[in-house]
Structure 1
Protein backbone atom coordinates (compact mmCIF):
# COMPACT_ATOMS: atom_id res chain seq x y z
CA UNK A 1 0.00 0.00 0.00
CA UNK A 2 1.26 3.47 -0.90
CA UNK A 3 -0.97 6.48 -0.34
CA UNK A 4 0.07 10.12 0.04
CA UNK A 5 -2.47 12.92 -0.24
CA UNK A 6 -2.48 16.63 0.46
CA UNK A 7 -5.17 17.46 3.02
CA UNK A 8 -4.47 21.16 3.68
CA UNK A 9 -2.68 23.76 1.58
CA UNK A 10 -1.98 27.45 2.13
CA UNK A 11 0.20 29.19 -0.45
CA UNK A 12 3.41 27.14 -0.69
CA UNK A 13 2.79 25.44 2.66
CA UNK A 14 1.29 21.97 2.68
CA UNK A 15 0.11 19.18 5.01
CA UNK A 16 0.11 15.64 3.64
CA UNK A 17 -1.26 12.42 5.10
CA UNK A 18 0.54 9.16 4.26
CA UNK A 19 -0.24 5.44 4.59
CA UNK A 20 2.72 3.40 3.34
CA UNK A 21 3.74 -0.23 3.76
CA UNK A 22 6.92 -0.32 1.69
CA UNK A 23 9.10 2.42 0.29
CA UNK A 24 12.79 3.15 -0.14
CA UNK A 25 14.18 6.32 -1.67
CA UNK A 26 15.13 9.94 -1.11
CA UNK A 27 12.94 12.34 0.85
CA UNK A 28 12.89 16.12 0.79
CA UNK A 29 12.72 18.66 3.61
CA UNK A 30 11.90 21.77 1.63
CA UNK A 31 12.04 24.49 2.77
CA UNK A 32 11.26 23.43 6.34
CA UNK A 33 9.51 20.16 7.11
CA UNK A 34 8.26 18.10 10.04
CA UNK A 35 7.64 14.40 9.44
CA UNK A 36 5.42 12.99 12.18
CA UNK A 37 4.75 9.25 12.64
CA UNK A 38 1.33 8.42 14.08
CA UNK A 39 1.77 4.63 13.97
CA UNK A 40 4.57 2.36 12.78
CA UNK A 41 8.22 3.14 12.02
CA UNK A 42 10.09 5.18 9.42
CA UNK A 43 13.88 4.87 9.12
CA UNK A 44 15.86 7.86 7.84
CA UNK A 45 19.51 7.98 6.75
CA UNK A 46 21.43 11.24 6.51
CA UNK A 47 25.15 10.79 5.95
CA UNK A 48 26.26 8.22 8.53
CA UNK A 49 23.36 8.97 10.85
CA UNK A 50 20.48 6.49 11.05
CA UNK A 51 17.30 7.79 12.71
CA UNK A 52 14.31 5.60 13.57
CA UNK A 53 11.08 7.56 13.96
CA UNK A 54 8.26 5.66 15.66
CA UNK A 55 4.78 6.49 16.94
CA UNK A 56 4.42 9.93 18.54
CA UNK A 57 7.88 11.00 17.34
CA UNK A 58 8.78 13.37 14.53
CA UNK A 59 11.78 14.45 12.51
CA UNK A 60 12.62 18.01 11.51
CA UNK A 61 14.63 19.07 8.49
CA UNK A 62 15.19 22.02 6.17
CA UNK A 63 16.64 22.74 2.74
CA UNK A 64 20.12 21.85 4.05
CA UNK A 65 18.94 18.31 4.88
CA UNK A 66 19.84 15.40 2.61
CA UNK A 67 18.14 12.18 3.61
CA UNK A 68 16.74 8.88 2.40
CA UNK A 69 13.86 6.94 3.94
CA UNK A 70 13.00 3.26 4.32
CA UNK A 71 9.56 1.93 5.26
CA UNK A 72 9.02 -1.82 5.45
CA UNK A 73 5.94 -2.93 7.38
CA UNK A 74 3.11 -5.46 7.19
CA UNK A 75 0.75 -2.79 8.53
CA UNK A 76 0.68 0.62 6.78
CA UNK A 77 2.79 3.24 8.54
CA UNK A 78 0.66 6.32 9.15
CA UNK A 79 2.30 9.72 9.02
CA UNK A 80 1.79 13.44 8.59
CA UNK A 81 4.25 15.65 6.73
CA UNK A 82 4.09 19.41 7.23
CA UNK A 83 5.97 21.70 4.83
CA UNK A 84 6.15 25.33 5.94
CA UNK A 85 7.06 27.92 3.30
CA UNK A 86 9.86 30.41 4.05
CA UNK A 87 7.54 33.38 3.53
CA UNK A 88 5.18 32.00 6.20
CA UNK A 89 8.08 31.50 8.63
CA UNK A 90 9.37 35.01 7.84
CA UNK A 91 5.97 36.55 8.55
CA UNK A 92 5.45 34.78 11.88
CA UNK A 93 9.07 35.26 12.97
CA UNK A 94 8.79 38.99 12.25
CA UNK A 95 6.17 39.33 14.99
CA UNK A 96 7.68 37.14 17.69
CA UNK A 97 11.31 36.26 17.06
CA UNK A 98 14.64 37.65 15.88
CA UNK A 99 16.49 37.19 12.60
CA UNK A 100 19.01 34.76 14.11
CA UNK A 101 16.28 32.27 15.03
CA UNK A 102 14.70 32.58 11.58
CA UNK A 103 18.04 31.93 9.85
CA UNK A 104 18.77 29.11 12.29
CA UNK A 105 15.44 27.51 11.33
CA UNK A 106 15.73 27.77 7.55
CA UNK A 107 19.49 27.27 7.09
CA UNK A 108 20.92 25.58 10.18
CA UNK A 109 22.19 22.04 9.69
CA UNK A 110 21.04 21.21 13.23
CA UNK A 111 17.44 21.29 11.96
CA UNK A 112 17.72 17.56 11.15
CA UNK A 113 16.71 16.25 14.59
CA UNK A 114 14.22 13.78 16.07
CA UNK A 115 11.82 14.85 18.83
CA UNK A 116 9.23 13.30 21.11
CA UNK A 117 5.90 14.95 20.29
CA UNK A 118 4.94 15.11 23.98
CA UNK A 119 7.94 17.35 24.74
CA UNK A 120 7.47 20.21 22.25
CA UNK A 121 4.99 22.89 21.22
CA UNK A 122 4.90 21.54 17.67
CA UNK A 123 4.31 18.03 19.00
CA UNK A 124 1.31 19.20 21.00
CA UNK A 125 0.04 20.96 17.87
CA UNK A 126 0.31 17.63 16.02
CA UNK A 127 -1.91 16.08 18.69
CA UNK A 128 -4.53 18.78 18.15
CA UNK A 129 -4.22 18.37 14.39
CA UNK A 130 -5.03 14.65 14.22
CA UNK A 131 -8.77 14.99 15.01
CA UNK A 132 -9.01 17.66 12.28
CA UNK A 133 -7.77 15.41 9.48
CA UNK A 134 -10.15 15.63 6.53
CA UNK A 135 -12.32 18.10 8.46
CA UNK A 136 -13.43 20.56 5.81
CA UNK A 137 -14.53 23.21 8.33
CA UNK A 138 -10.95 23.78 9.51
CA UNK A 139 -9.71 27.32 8.87
CA UNK A 140 -6.59 26.50 6.88
CA UNK A 141 -4.86 29.87 7.19
CA UNK A 142 -5.13 29.87 11.00
CA UNK A 143 -3.92 26.27 11.13
CA UNK A 144 -0.67 27.03 9.28
CA UNK A 145 0.01 30.16 11.33
CA UNK A 146 -0.47 28.13 14.51
CA UNK A 147 1.94 25.42 13.31
CA UNK A 148 4.57 27.99 12.28
CA UNK A 149 4.32 29.76 15.63
CA UNK A 150 4.66 26.49 17.59
CA UNK A 151 7.63 25.42 15.49
CA UNK A 152 9.40 28.77 15.95
CA UNK A 153 8.84 28.67 19.72
CA UNK A 154 10.57 25.29 19.77
CA UNK A 155 13.39 26.59 17.59
CA UNK A 156 13.85 29.55 19.94
CA UNK A 157 14.19 27.15 22.88
CA UNK A 158 16.69 25.01 20.97
CA UNK A 159 18.67 28.06 19.82
CA UNK A 160 18.92 29.22 23.44
CA UNK A 161 19.97 25.78 24.71
CA UNK A 162 22.66 25.35 22.07
CA UNK A 163 24.18 28.72 22.91
CA UNK A 164 24.40 27.76 26.60
CA UNK A 165 26.91 25.03 25.79
CA UNK A 166 30.58 25.69 26.52
CA UNK A 167 32.17 25.39 23.11
CA UNK A 168 33.77 28.09 20.99
CA UNK A 169 32.84 26.63 17.62
CA UNK A 170 29.18 26.60 16.59
CA UNK A 171 29.69 23.24 14.87
CA UNK A 172 30.83 21.71 18.18
CA UNK A 173 27.82 23.12 20.06
CA UNK A 174 25.46 21.72 17.42
CA UNK A 175 27.07 18.29 17.63
CA UNK A 176 26.91 18.25 21.44
CA UNK A 177 23.27 19.30 21.42
CA UNK A 178 22.46 16.53 18.95
CA UNK A 179 24.10 13.97 21.27
CA UNK A 180 22.25 15.26 24.35
CA UNK A 181 18.93 15.41 22.50
CA UNK A 182 19.38 11.77 21.42
CA UNK A 183 19.81 10.83 25.07
CA UNK A 184 16.69 12.78 26.04
CA UNK A 185 14.73 10.97 23.33
CA UNK A 186 15.96 7.69 24.81
CA UNK A 187 14.70 8.74 28.25
CA UNK A 188 11.33 9.78 26.80
CA UNK A 189 10.91 6.28 25.35
CA UNK A 190 12.34 4.28 28.31
CA UNK A 191 11.74 6.35 31.47
CA UNK A 192 9.71 3.54 33.09
CA UNK A 193 12.70 1.21 32.81
CA UNK A 194 15.82 1.02 34.97
CA UNK A 195 18.02 3.45 33.02
CA UNK A 196 21.68 3.69 33.98
CA UNK A 197 23.87 6.74 33.58
CA UNK A 198 26.25 4.65 31.49
CA UNK A 199 23.45 3.81 29.05
CA UNK A 200 22.52 7.48 28.63
CA UNK A 201 26.13 8.59 28.25
CA UNK A 202 26.52 5.85 25.64
CA UNK A 203 23.52 7.23 23.73
CA UNK A 204 25.24 10.63 23.77
CA UNK A 205 28.69 9.20 22.91
CA UNK A 206 30.41 11.06 25.77
CA UNK A 207 31.71 10.31 29.28
CA UNK A 208 29.25 10.05 32.18
CA UNK A 209 30.62 13.15 33.92
CA UNK A 210 30.52 15.23 30.75
CA UNK A 211 27.01 13.97 30.01
CA UNK A 212 25.63 15.04 33.42
CA UNK A 213 27.09 18.54 33.04
CA UNK A 214 25.85 19.01 29.47
CA UNK A 215 22.38 17.58 30.12
CA UNK A 216 21.77 19.88 33.09
CA UNK A 217 23.13 22.90 31.24
CA UNK A 218 20.93 22.13 28.22
CA UNK A 219 17.63 21.21 29.89
CA UNK A 220 17.94 22.75 33.36
CA UNK A 221 17.59 19.38 35.11
CA UNK A 222 19.99 16.55 35.85
CA UNK A 223 19.28 13.25 34.03
CA UNK A 224 17.91 11.79 37.29
CA UNK A 225 15.65 14.82 37.86
CA UNK A 226 14.38 14.60 34.28
CA UNK A 227 13.55 10.88 34.62
CA UNK A 228 11.83 11.53 37.96
CA UNK A 229 9.74 14.33 36.44
CA UNK A 230 8.65 12.05 33.58
CA UNK A 231 7.68 9.26 36.00
CA UNK A 232 5.73 11.61 38.27
CA UNK A 233 3.85 13.09 35.32
CA UNK A 234 2.98 9.57 34.17
CA UNK A 235 1.90 8.67 37.72
CA UNK A 236 -0.32 11.74 37.97
CA UNK A 237 -2.13 10.71 34.78
CA UNK A 238 -2.66 7.20 36.18
CA UNK A 239 -4.14 8.61 39.39
CA UNK A 240 -6.46 10.84 37.37
CA UNK A 241 -7.65 7.72 35.55
CA UNK A 242 -8.51 6.07 38.88
CA UNK A 243 -5.47 3.85 39.39
CA UNK A 244 -4.74 3.01 43.04
CA UNK A 245 -1.71 4.54 44.75
CA UNK A 246 -0.06 1.12 45.09
CA UNK A 247 -0.53 0.20 41.43
CA UNK A 248 0.51 3.68 40.32
CA UNK A 249 3.76 3.55 42.29
CA UNK A 250 4.92 0.32 40.69
CA UNK A 251 3.60 1.07 37.21
CA UNK A 252 5.50 4.38 37.29
CA UNK A 253 8.85 2.74 37.98
CA UNK A 254 9.19 3.42 41.73
CA UNK A 255 10.74 0.78 43.98
CA UNK A 256 8.19 1.24 46.77
CA UNK A 257 5.16 3.28 47.83
CA UNK A 258 7.11 5.36 50.36
CA UNK A 259 9.60 6.73 47.84
CA UNK A 260 6.79 7.39 45.36
CA UNK A 261 4.65 9.23 47.93
CA UNK A 262 7.57 11.39 49.04
CA UNK A 263 8.53 12.36 45.48
CA UNK A 264 4.91 12.96 44.44
CA UNK A 265 4.17 15.26 47.38
CA UNK A 266 7.36 17.23 46.75
CA UNK A 267 6.38 17.72 43.09
CA UNK A 268 2.64 18.41 43.44
CA UNK A 269 2.26 19.63 47.02
CA UNK A 270 -0.26 16.93 48.00
CA UNK A 271 0.04 13.24 48.83
CA UNK A 272 -0.96 10.78 46.09
CA UNK A 273 -3.59 9.33 48.44
CA UNK A 274 -5.25 12.76 48.52
CA UNK A 275 -5.26 12.97 44.70
CA UNK A 276 -6.69 9.44 44.47
CA UNK A 277 -9.49 10.32 46.92
CA UNK A 278 -10.27 13.48 44.93
CA UNK A 279 -10.72 11.45 41.75
CA UNK A 280 -12.68 8.69 43.51
CA UNK A 281 -15.09 11.17 45.10
CA UNK A 282 -15.55 12.97 41.80
Structure 2
Protein backbone atom coordinates (compact mmCIF):
# COMPACT_ATOMS: atom_id res chain seq x y z
CA UNK A 1 0.00 0.00 0.00
CA UNK A 2 1.24 3.49 -0.81
CA UNK A 3 2.45 5.58 2.10
CA UNK A 4 0.21 8.60 2.87
CA UNK A 5 2.93 11.06 1.79
CA UNK A 6 3.20 9.31 -1.59
CA UNK A 7 -0.56 9.42 -2.04
CA UNK A 8 -0.59 13.09 -1.07
CA UNK A 9 2.02 13.90 -3.70
CA UNK A 10 -0.09 12.29 -6.42
CA UNK A 11 -3.39 13.63 -5.15
CA UNK A 12 -1.90 17.13 -5.18
CA UNK A 13 -1.64 16.86 -8.96
CA UNK A 14 -5.16 15.43 -9.25
CA UNK A 15 -6.58 18.20 -7.02
CA UNK A 16 -5.92 20.69 -9.81
CA UNK A 17 -9.06 19.25 -11.44
CA UNK A 18 -11.36 19.86 -8.45
CA UNK A 19 -14.79 21.18 -9.44
CA UNK A 20 -16.92 22.83 -6.75
CA UNK A 21 -20.45 24.24 -6.90
CA UNK A 22 -22.46 26.04 -4.22
CA UNK A 23 -26.22 25.42 -3.99
CA UNK A 24 -27.20 27.07 -0.66
CA UNK A 25 -25.56 29.22 2.02
CA UNK A 26 -26.97 30.93 5.14
CA UNK A 27 -26.75 31.54 8.88
CA UNK A 28 -29.53 29.89 10.87
CA UNK A 29 -30.60 29.72 14.50
CA UNK A 30 -32.43 26.40 14.23
CA UNK A 31 -35.68 25.68 16.07
CA UNK A 32 -36.54 22.62 18.14
CA UNK A 33 -38.18 20.96 15.12
CA UNK A 34 -34.89 20.93 13.19
CA UNK A 35 -34.44 17.26 12.40
CA UNK A 36 -33.64 14.81 9.61
CA UNK A 37 -33.04 11.11 10.12
CA UNK A 38 -31.12 8.49 8.14
CA UNK A 39 -30.74 10.65 5.04
CA UNK A 40 -28.16 10.11 2.27
CA UNK A 41 -27.70 13.39 0.35
CA UNK A 42 -26.04 13.80 -3.02
CA UNK A 43 -24.39 17.03 -1.82
CA UNK A 44 -21.97 17.98 0.98
CA UNK A 45 -22.87 20.11 3.99
CA UNK A 46 -20.56 22.40 5.96
CA UNK A 47 -21.85 23.28 9.44
CA UNK A 48 -19.86 25.87 11.39
CA UNK A 49 -21.21 25.85 14.94
CA UNK A 50 -21.38 29.26 16.65
CA UNK A 51 -23.62 28.45 19.64
CA UNK A 52 -26.04 25.94 21.08
CA UNK A 53 -26.38 22.18 21.36
CA UNK A 54 -27.40 19.37 19.06
CA UNK A 55 -26.47 15.99 17.68
CA UNK A 56 -25.04 14.93 14.33
CA UNK A 57 -24.76 11.29 13.26
CA UNK A 58 -22.45 10.86 10.27
CA UNK A 59 -21.80 7.44 8.78
CA UNK A 60 -22.70 5.75 12.08
CA UNK A 61 -20.62 8.10 14.28
CA UNK A 62 -22.37 10.30 16.82
CA UNK A 63 -21.14 13.84 17.52
CA UNK A 64 -22.24 16.61 19.87
CA UNK A 65 -20.66 19.62 18.16
CA UNK A 66 -19.21 22.51 20.14
CA UNK A 67 -18.90 26.17 19.15
CA UNK A 68 -15.78 26.69 17.04
CA UNK A 69 -16.02 23.34 15.25
CA UNK A 70 -16.49 23.07 11.49
CA UNK A 71 -18.22 19.86 10.39
CA UNK A 72 -18.37 18.25 6.98
CA UNK A 73 -21.31 15.97 6.23
CA UNK A 74 -20.19 14.32 2.99
CA UNK A 75 -22.34 13.39 0.03
CA UNK A 76 -23.25 9.73 -0.26
CA UNK A 77 -23.00 9.07 3.48
CA UNK A 78 -25.97 8.32 5.78
CA UNK A 79 -26.52 11.13 8.26
CA UNK A 80 -28.98 12.42 10.86
CA UNK A 81 -29.29 15.63 12.87
CA UNK A 82 -31.56 16.87 15.66
CA UNK A 83 -31.58 19.21 18.71
CA UNK A 84 -31.01 17.92 22.23
CA UNK A 85 -32.27 20.92 24.21
CA UNK A 86 -34.04 24.25 23.91
CA UNK A 87 -30.62 25.85 23.43
CA UNK A 88 -30.41 25.00 19.73
CA UNK A 89 -27.59 25.48 17.24
CA UNK A 90 -26.75 28.82 15.72
CA UNK A 91 -24.65 27.92 12.70
CA UNK A 92 -23.28 29.04 9.39
CA UNK A 93 -23.90 26.39 6.77
CA UNK A 94 -23.78 25.65 3.08
CA UNK A 95 -24.67 22.88 0.65
CA UNK A 96 -22.23 22.20 -2.16
CA UNK A 97 -20.59 19.64 -4.41
CA UNK A 98 -16.84 19.10 -4.63
CA UNK A 99 -15.69 16.48 -7.11
CA UNK A 100 -12.58 15.27 -8.86
CA UNK A 101 -13.95 13.57 -11.93
CA UNK A 102 -17.00 11.75 -10.60
CA UNK A 103 -15.51 11.11 -7.13
CA UNK A 104 -16.50 13.12 -4.07
CA UNK A 105 -13.48 14.96 -2.66
CA UNK A 106 -14.19 14.16 1.00
CA UNK A 107 -14.76 10.46 0.48
CA UNK A 108 -11.70 10.30 -1.75
CA UNK A 109 -9.43 11.87 0.88
CA UNK A 110 -10.99 10.05 3.84
CA UNK A 111 -10.79 13.15 6.06
CA UNK A 112 -12.24 13.50 9.59
CA UNK A 113 -15.78 14.80 9.98
CA UNK A 114 -14.75 18.00 11.77
CA UNK A 115 -11.90 20.35 12.62
CA UNK A 116 -11.31 22.77 15.47
CA UNK A 117 -11.19 26.22 13.86
CA UNK A 118 -8.24 28.31 15.04
CA UNK A 119 -9.19 31.58 13.37
CA UNK A 120 -12.91 31.79 14.19
CA UNK A 121 -13.31 35.41 13.12
CA UNK A 122 -11.62 34.61 9.81
CA UNK A 123 -13.98 31.72 9.08
CA UNK A 124 -17.03 33.79 10.02
CA UNK A 125 -15.80 36.39 7.56
CA UNK A 126 -15.54 33.78 4.83
CA UNK A 127 -19.07 32.51 5.48
CA UNK A 128 -20.40 36.08 5.48
CA UNK A 129 -18.74 36.63 2.09
CA UNK A 130 -20.15 33.32 0.82
CA UNK A 131 -23.69 34.26 1.88
CA UNK A 132 -23.35 37.75 0.41
CA UNK A 133 -22.22 36.36 -2.96
CA UNK A 134 -24.93 33.68 -2.86
CA UNK A 135 -27.62 36.34 -2.38
CA UNK A 136 -26.10 38.70 -4.96
CA UNK A 137 -27.43 39.08 -8.50
CA UNK A 138 -24.15 40.51 -9.79
CA UNK A 139 -22.79 39.07 -13.01
CA UNK A 140 -19.66 37.83 -11.21
CA UNK A 141 -21.50 36.40 -8.18
CA UNK A 142 -21.06 32.77 -9.22
CA UNK A 143 -17.30 33.17 -9.62
CA UNK A 144 -17.04 34.90 -6.25
CA UNK A 145 -19.09 32.13 -4.60
CA UNK A 146 -16.77 29.51 -6.02
CA UNK A 147 -13.67 31.41 -4.92
CA UNK A 148 -14.81 31.67 -1.30
CA UNK A 149 -16.15 28.12 -1.22
CA UNK A 150 -12.79 26.79 -2.42
CA UNK A 151 -11.07 28.80 0.32
CA UNK A 152 -13.27 27.20 2.99
CA UNK A 153 -12.70 23.73 1.52
CA UNK A 154 -8.94 24.39 1.46
CA UNK A 155 -9.02 25.51 5.10
CA UNK A 156 -10.79 22.29 6.10
CA UNK A 157 -8.47 20.02 4.11
CA UNK A 158 -5.31 21.80 5.28
CA UNK A 159 -6.31 21.65 8.95
CA UNK A 160 -7.32 17.99 8.63
CA UNK A 161 -3.97 16.96 7.16
CA UNK A 162 -1.89 18.99 9.64
CA UNK A 163 -3.75 18.25 12.86
CA UNK A 164 -3.87 15.17 15.08
CA UNK A 165 -6.51 13.40 13.00
CA UNK A 166 -5.72 10.05 11.43
CA UNK A 167 -5.87 10.42 7.66
CA UNK A 168 -7.29 7.40 5.86
CA UNK A 169 -6.43 8.12 2.24
CA UNK A 170 -8.62 7.01 -0.66
CA UNK A 171 -11.16 5.31 1.59
CA UNK A 172 -10.60 2.00 -0.24
CA UNK A 173 -12.05 3.23 -3.54
CA UNK A 174 -11.26 0.47 -6.07
CA UNK A 175 -11.35 2.77 -9.11
CA UNK A 176 -8.94 5.25 -7.59
CA UNK A 177 -6.70 2.36 -6.57
CA UNK A 178 -6.44 1.29 -10.21
CA UNK A 179 -5.78 4.85 -11.35
CA UNK A 180 -3.02 5.13 -8.74
CA UNK A 181 -1.25 2.29 -10.54
CA UNK A 182 -1.24 4.53 -13.60
CA UNK A 183 -0.24 7.67 -11.66
CA UNK A 184 2.68 5.80 -10.12
CA UNK A 185 3.78 4.64 -13.56
CA UNK A 186 3.61 8.23 -14.86
CA UNK A 187 5.74 9.48 -11.95
CA UNK A 188 8.37 6.82 -12.60
CA UNK A 189 8.46 7.30 -16.39
CA UNK A 190 8.05 11.05 -16.72
CA UNK A 191 11.42 11.11 -18.50
CA UNK A 192 9.92 9.03 -21.31
CA UNK A 193 7.37 9.58 -24.07
CA UNK A 194 4.42 7.96 -22.28
CA UNK A 195 1.61 6.78 -24.54
CA UNK A 196 -2.06 6.08 -23.90
CA UNK A 197 -1.50 2.50 -25.06
CA UNK A 198 1.13 1.96 -22.35
CA UNK A 199 -1.08 3.39 -19.62
CA UNK A 200 -4.15 1.46 -20.77
CA UNK A 201 -2.10 -1.74 -20.86
CA UNK A 202 -1.33 -1.43 -17.15
CA UNK A 203 -5.04 -1.95 -16.42
CA UNK A 204 -5.70 -4.26 -19.38
CA UNK A 205 -8.16 -1.70 -20.78
CA UNK A 206 -8.85 -0.79 -24.38
CA UNK A 207 -7.26 2.67 -24.97
CA UNK A 208 -10.62 4.33 -25.75
CA UNK A 209 -12.20 2.92 -22.59
CA UNK A 210 -9.13 3.86 -20.55
CA UNK A 211 -9.33 7.50 -21.70
CA UNK A 212 -12.97 7.73 -20.59
CA UNK A 213 -12.24 5.92 -17.30
CA UNK A 214 -9.27 8.17 -16.51
CA UNK A 215 -11.23 11.34 -17.31
CA UNK A 216 -14.20 10.28 -15.14
CA UNK A 217 -11.95 9.84 -12.11
CA UNK A 218 -9.19 12.43 -12.56
CA UNK A 219 -11.20 15.07 -14.42
CA UNK A 220 -8.81 15.43 -17.34
CA UNK A 221 -7.46 13.25 -20.14
CA UNK A 222 -4.39 11.07 -19.46
CA UNK A 223 -2.28 12.95 -22.03
CA UNK A 224 -3.24 16.34 -20.57
CA UNK A 225 -2.36 15.05 -17.10
CA UNK A 226 1.05 13.81 -18.27
CA UNK A 227 1.75 17.07 -20.09
CA UNK A 228 0.90 19.14 -17.02
CA UNK A 229 3.26 17.06 -14.87
CA UNK A 230 6.03 17.51 -17.41
CA UNK A 231 5.45 21.27 -17.47
CA UNK A 232 5.48 21.41 -13.66
CA UNK A 233 8.73 19.46 -13.58
CA UNK A 234 10.21 21.76 -16.22
CA UNK A 235 9.22 24.85 -14.20
CA UNK A 236 11.06 23.45 -11.19
CA UNK A 237 14.19 22.74 -13.23
CA UNK A 238 14.13 26.11 -14.99
CA UNK A 239 13.76 28.04 -11.73
CA UNK A 240 16.24 25.99 -9.66
CA UNK A 241 19.04 25.01 -12.09
CA UNK A 242 21.03 26.41 -15.00
CA UNK A 243 20.51 23.22 -16.99
CA UNK A 244 20.13 24.02 -20.72
CA UNK A 245 16.56 24.10 -22.00
CA UNK A 246 17.36 21.41 -24.56
CA UNK A 247 18.62 19.09 -21.81
CA UNK A 248 15.51 19.71 -19.71
CA UNK A 249 13.34 18.87 -22.71
CA UNK A 250 15.14 15.59 -23.34
CA UNK A 251 15.06 14.70 -19.64
CA UNK A 252 11.26 14.83 -19.98
CA UNK A 253 11.17 12.65 -23.08
CA UNK A 254 10.50 15.51 -25.52
CA UNK A 255 12.28 17.09 -28.43
CA UNK A 256 13.34 20.69 -27.63
CA UNK A 257 11.14 22.30 -30.30
CA UNK A 258 7.99 20.45 -29.18
CA UNK A 259 8.84 21.09 -25.52
CA UNK A 260 9.19 24.85 -26.09
CA UNK A 261 5.90 24.99 -27.99
CA UNK A 262 4.06 23.00 -25.29
CA UNK A 263 5.62 25.05 -22.47
CA UNK A 264 4.53 28.33 -24.05
CA UNK A 265 1.03 26.95 -24.66
CA UNK A 266 0.68 26.13 -20.93
CA UNK A 267 2.41 29.18 -19.42
CA UNK A 268 2.32 31.92 -22.04
CA UNK A 269 6.12 32.16 -21.86
CA UNK A 270 8.99 30.51 -23.70
CA UNK A 271 11.16 28.39 -21.35
CA UNK A 272 14.05 30.87 -21.62
CA UNK A 273 11.76 33.79 -20.73
CA UNK A 274 10.35 31.84 -17.77
CA UNK A 275 13.89 31.25 -16.50
CA UNK A 276 14.73 34.97 -16.73
CA UNK A 277 11.72 35.73 -14.50
CA UNK A 278 12.15 32.99 -11.91
CA UNK A 279 15.76 31.76 -11.86
CA UNK A 280 17.55 33.45 -8.95
CA UNK A 281 20.48 35.59 -10.01
CA UNK A 282 23.34 35.07 -7.57
Structure with higher strand content? 1
Bigger CA radius of gyration = 2
The TM-score normalised by the length of structure 2 is: 0.42
Q: Which has the higher contact order (CA 8 A, sep 6+)?
A: 2
**Structure 1 length-normalised TM:** 0.42
